[in-house]
Chains A and B, each alone.
Chain A
Amino acid sequence: MKIDPDKCVACGNCTYVCPMGAIYIDPAIKRATVDRNECVECYACFNGLSQEHLNPTLVRTLRTVFQFFRLRFDPEPDVCPTAAFAPEELAWPRIVRRAFSDPRVPHESTGVQGRGTEEVKTNDVTGRVQRGEAGFTIEFGRPGVGVWFHEIQKMTSALAKAGVAFEKKNPITSLMTDVATGTLREDILGEKILSAIVEIKVPVARTEEMIRLVREVEQQVDTVIALGVGARCDESGEENVVAPILERLGYRLERAKTNAGLGRITNPVEEKREEPAGVTR
């Protein structure tokens, strides 16, 4: 993302709305500027700010006058008064930042908007997590911290070493050059994104082992991690297998996403999807 210096009036509204705090007023040019290293191309500024199309010279003049008289300029905080944001054409590997940060952009590997996959949300038609299994979603960087791919690789390597299966229809898995070792493409390791989700599935008996492993590795990862565990309920809708393990490990289970089981396969013929080849742009 770029900000057109000819249009920007340095009102500062955009400095607050950037989830990564990557926008600042550069005192040298007196314009809002994007720190390209920290920007994750989430487009929150471009998509979230309402845009006016005021004359920049007029706005600057008014602001200068107000400032002289120590009057507070109090515009709406979610508006760019001169529509100064200018999305740029992103090339590989930078484009991967947007794929994992702007939720409106679907991943080519999954077709799902956002940065994960369908996980247990569609378990009633996909059967992704069966009884006796625990599906983990390990999300990095959210909220408001962000993560570099080389940090994610610390976790994928450790998980691969433990011999777990990565979810094939997951964007991170599709960026692995070697699923057996959890190695990500080298050319993306220096890219920062807003968040990403690694998905694995293990037999319920390995739940505790996985949580202990994640806890150990997350101490070496320079971001926050949001952990989720999915499980299949029994015939009566109860889930008394995974929850007791989690509670024994000290988790207070407060919130969950519950699949009501109302989905059914309605497509005429099930489409055959290609498995990720390990490298996807």
Chain B
Amino acid sequence: MTNTLHRYGDAASFYDDYVVFAIPSRGKNDKGSVPKLKKFLEMAVPFKPVNLGDAIHGGALRPSRHMNPTAHWKRDMTPDFRAVIDGVDTPTTVAAVFDDRVAAEDFLKTVKQADLGLCINVSTSIDGAEQCCHAAGIPRHSVGYSLGFEGKTEKLPNSQVLMLTTMCGHGMISTSLAKKMIDWVKEGRRTPDQAVTYMARFCSCGVYNPSRAKRILEDARTKIK
């Protein structure tokens, strides 16, 4: 699962994108990991994440199985962090997404002090992750580099659509939906905030960064790249 590795963009474009995630390894540190995973998420909340998620139940913005028709006029767009934390019931990957480097650094320091024993990873630009680890006094253990997309790249959409869709590394946010949301924002049919929540609900593990997505949509409103 390389669900946060291949986000499209250059290093500078990740200045507001820091994914810190905890993963228990099967047979190594997964026994009794559920309370630790919950604690990891609990510890993230004071640092004002823009999303929390677990790989089984999803993120802080979720679709509804029984939506009331009146919701069309008063749709709740508030991320529900409590639902994510309470929903963790089995060993899985949990993630906290930040749009601020200092917050990610401070959170990493807190995680280090908590000594949960879980495997902790930071996914962002190479320099950004290095700074986070340095600030927390942690020498990096391993690095997984993204070399980007190759092969039949002519099948890929434009860069703004790619930036929006690849923030769900599992590929659950379709190219067509991202294009549609850019168009709707351009037409003024929806605000960037609304468009972002539509897309975020499709991300099945909660690593989608609504803050970065909003910035991309604002940018796309005036210029297509």
**Which residues of A are at the interface with B, using a C-beta cutoff of 8 A?**
15-21, 42, 44, 47-54, 74-79, 103-104, 110-126, 129, 135, 137, 139, 141-145, 194-195, 197, 214-215, 218-219, 221-233, 235-239, 242-243, 246, 251-268, 270-271, 273
Chain A at the B interface: mostly helix, strand, loop or mixed? loop
Question: For residue A49, which residues in chain B have a CB less than 8 angstroms away from its CB?
Answer: 63
- Check A50–B5 contact: CB distance below 8 A: no
Judge if B10 is at the interface, Cβ distance under 8 Å: yes
User: Which residue from chain B places its CB closest to the CB of A48 in the assembled complex?
Assistant: B202
Q: Establish whether residues B66 and A51, one from each chain, have CB atoms under 8 Å apart when the complex forms.
A: yes
> Taking A129-B142, A254-B9, A257-B2 as contacts, is the C-beta distance between A264 and B29 under 8 angstroms?
yes
Interface status of B174 (Cβ within 8 A of chain A): yes
Shortest Cβ distance from B81 into chain A, in angstroms? 20
Q: Is the CB of B145 within 8 A of A223?
A: no
* A256/B145 in contact, CB under 8 A: yes
B143 at the interface (CB under 8 A from A): yes
**Contact (Cβ within 8 A) A226 B30:** no
Supply 18 A–B pairs (Cβ within 8 Å), ascending by A.
A47-B63, A48-B204, A50-B63, A50-B64, A103-B3, A120-B142, A143-B166, A143-B171, A194-B170, A224-B150, A226-B149, A232-B142, A233-B143, A237-B138, A255-B124, A257-B143, A262-B111, A267-B28
Instruction: Name the residue in B68, B122, B204 with the highest tally of chain A Cβ atoms < 10 Å from its Cβ.
Output: B204
Residue from the list A44, A197, A230 in contact with B142, Cβ < 8 A? A230
Query: Does B83 touch A at the CB level, under 8 Å?
Result: no
- With a CB–CB cut-off of 8 A, which chain B residues contact A48? 63, 172, 201-202, 204
Q: Are A256 and B126 in contact (CB under 8 A)?
A: yes
- Enumerate B126-184 residues with CB–CB distance to A below 8 Å: 126, 129-130, 132-133, 136, 138-153, 155-157, 162, 165-166, 169-177, 180-181, 184
B225 CB–A CB distance under 8 Å: no
Q: A226 to B112, alpha carbons, bound, how many Å?
A: 31
A215 to B147, CA, bound (A): 12
User: Contacts A145-B155, A226-B146, A270-B27 hold; do A255 and B2 have CB atoms under 8 A apart?
Assistant: no
Taking CB atoms, residues of chain B closer than 8 Å to A218 are 150-151
Interchain CB contact under 8 A, A78 and B119: no
The smallest C-beta distance from B209 to any residue of chain A, in angstroms, reads 13
Other-chain contact of A103, B63, B189, B204 (Cβ < 8 Å): B204
Name the residue on B nearest A263 (C-beta): B119
Q: B83: shortest Cβ distance to chain A, in Å? A: 15
Interface size of B as a range:
35 or more
B residues with a Cβ closer than 8 A to A are 1-7, 9-11, 14, 21, 23-32, 55-56, 63-69, 71-72, 75, 92-93, 108, 111-112, 115-126, 129-130, 132-133, 136, 138-153, 155-157, 162, 165-166, 169-177, 180-181, 184, 189, 198, 201-202, 204-205
Tell me which of B1, B4, B175 has the highest count of chain A C-beta atoms within 10 A of its own C-beta: B1
Distance of A138 Cα from B84 Cα, bound (Å): 31
Q: Choose from A52, A221, A238, A255 the contact partner of B67 (Cβ within 8 Å).
A: A52
Which 5 A-B pairs rank lowest in CB-CB distance, beginning with the nearest?
Answer: A261-B141, A237-B139, A114-B1, A263-B119, A122-B25
- Enumerate chain B residues within 8 angstroms of A228, measured Cβ to Cβ: 2, 5-6, 144-147
Q: CA separation between A229 and B179, bound complex, in Å?
A: 30
| CB-CB under 8 A for A261 and B29, given A44-B172, A145-B152 | no
B69 proximity list for chain A (CB < 8 A): 52, 54
Closest beta carbon of chain A to B58's beta carbon, Å: 8
Residues on A with beta carbons closer than 8 Å to the beta carbon of B121 = 121, 257-260
Once bound together, how far apart are the Cα atoms of A195 and B172, in whole Å? Answer: 11
Contact of A233 among B21, B29, B141 (CB under 8 A): B141
A254 & B125 in contact (Cβ 8 Å cutoff)? yes
Question: A125: which B residues are within 8 A, CB to CB?
Answer: 25, 28-29, 119
Q: Are B155 and A223 interface neighbours, CB within 8 A?
A: yes
Question: For residue B129, which residues in chain A have a CB less than 8 angstroms away from its CB?
Answer: 256-258
A51 to B68 Cα, complex, angstroms: 9
What is the CA–CA distance of A55 and B123 in the complex, to the nearest angstrom? 45
Q: List 15 additional contacts besides A76-B198, A121-B119; criterion CB under 8 Å.
A: A19-B172, A19-B173, A51-B63, A118-B1, A121-B144, A143-B156, A143-B171, A194-B171, A195-B171, A224-B156, A228-B145, A229-B144, A251-B148, A263-B117, A267-B28
Question: Which residues from chain B contact A251 at a C-beta distance below 8 Å?
Answer: 145, 147-148
Contact yes or no, A75 B72, CB < 8 A: yes
Question: Please, which residues of chain A bring their CB within 8 A of the CB of B32?
Answer: 266
**With A75-B72, A257-B121, A258-B123 given, is the CB distance from A118 to B145 under 8 Å?**
no
